[in-house]
């Protein structure tokens, strides 16, 4: 069974600092990996999707890397802003196209 | 606007009652999914459907039922057999386009007392 772990569970940084969020998974036979953002009481917003054949994806201030062989992904958020405060979830898909989620990292960006 | 709608946003029920949560999408996606989220835990898959009139159990299907009579709709019924139904329920959909990126609705918070 795929296990997905996100460390740390919570993170607090001053505005302007770069954020580094980690995700690890036990089974490297994945189809893709998605990073999501969740605001309190809301649904999930898809941030980035990395196919298993890719090493990274970028969107604006966000960059996600994937090292499938070691079972790791990292989400980088450059020059953090208070509006980046949220919970960030990673999830992996195998060939059955079902997502397995980590428990998330809750980020607080202090103004 | 294309997207996924879930209704209602909040739902309150007495123990022993069945309740149905609505999920509708206008993204023309083939696959739809139901997840449950509990505080401090990752999302867990309840049921999923890849085509109309077909669906499969996820990791925690006991006490739940679904139907997929239309491509746009995937309602979830929480039955009285579900032991701990109070949770945040999220619906998602994805296209069969090689990416299978999942998009989520705003969620329904169910409270059973």
Q: Is B45 on the interface with A (CB under 8 A)?
A: yes
Closest residue, chain B, to A97 (C-alpha): B100
| pLDDT number for residue B1 | 60
Q: Is there a contact between B107 and A97 if contact means CB atoms under 8 Å apart?
A: no
d(CA B13, CA B101): 33
Is A36 exposed, middle or buried, given 0-12, 13-18 or 19+ CB atoms closer than 10 A? buried
Q: Is B83 on the interface with A (CB under 8 A)?
A: no
DSSP string, B72-85: TB--EEE-TT-S--
pLDDT band (50, 70, 90) for residue B96: confident
Query: Are the C-beta atoms of B103 and B94 separated by less than 8 Å?
Result: yes
Q: Is B102 on the interface with A (CB under 8 A)?
A: yes
Percent of chain A with pLDDT over 90: 92
pLDDT mean across residues, chain A = 95
Confidence check: pLDDT of B14 > 80? yes
Residues B86-96 have a mean pLDDT of: 94
Residues B67-80 have a mean pLDDT of: 97
Phi–psi pair at A14, nearest 5 degrees: -80, 150
Of A32, A46, A104, the CB nearest to B42: A104
| pLDDT number for residue B56 | 95
DSSP string, chain A: ---EEEE-SEEEEETTPPEEEEEEES----SEEEEEEE-TTS-EEEEEEEETT-SEEEETTEEEEEETTTTEEEEEESS--GGG-EEEEEEEE-TT--EEE---EEEEEE-
Q: Is B43 on the interface with A (CB under 8 A)?
A: yes
Residues A90-108 have a mean pLDDT of: 91
User: Taking CB atoms and an 8 Å cutoff, what residues of chain B touch A44?
Assistant: 43, 90, 92, 104
CA–CA distances in Å: residue B44 to residues A38, A46, A61, A98, B83: 15, 17, 29, 10, 16
User: Taking CB atoms and an 8 Å cutoff, what residues of chain A touch B101?
Assistant: 32, 34, 46, 49
Nearest Cα of chain A lies from the Cα of B43 at a distance, in angstroms, of: 6
Closest CA relative to residue A5, chosen from A32, A27, A24: A24
Q: Is A98 on the interface with B (CB under 8 A)?
A: yes
Of B31, B90, B99, the CB nearest to A43: B90
**Mind listing the pLDDT tens digit for each residue in A12-57?**
999 999 999 999 999 999 999 999 999 999 999 999 999 999 999 9
């Amino acid at each position: 069974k795929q296990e997905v772990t996100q460390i740390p569970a919570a993170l607090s940084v001053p505005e302007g600092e770069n954020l580094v969020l980690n995700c690890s998974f036990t089974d490297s036979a994945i189809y893709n990996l998605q990073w999501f953002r969740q605001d309190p009481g809301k649904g999930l917003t898809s941030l980035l999707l990395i196919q298993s054949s890719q090493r990274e994806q970028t969107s604006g201030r966000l960059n996600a890397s994937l090292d499938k062989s070691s079972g790791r992904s990292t989400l980088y958020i450059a020059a953090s802003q208070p509006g980046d405060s949220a919970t960030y979830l990673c999830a992996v898909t195998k060939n059955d196209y079902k997502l397995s989620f980590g428990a998330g990292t809750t980020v607080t960006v202090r103004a | 606007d294309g997207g996924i709608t879930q209704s209602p946003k909040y739902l309150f029920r007495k123990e022993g009652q069945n309740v149905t949560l609505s999920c509708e999408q206008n993204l023309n996606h083939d696959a739809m999914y139901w997840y449950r989220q509990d505080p401090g835990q990752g999302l867990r898959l309840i049921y999923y459907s890849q085509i109309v009139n077909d669906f499969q159990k996820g990791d925690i299907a006991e006490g739940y039922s679904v139907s997929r009579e239309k491509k746009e709709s995937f309602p979830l019924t929480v039955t009285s057999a579900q032991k701990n139904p109070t949770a945040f329920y999220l619906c998602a959909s994805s296209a069969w386009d090689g990416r299978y990126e999942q998009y989520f609705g705003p969620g329904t918070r169910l409270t059973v007392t």
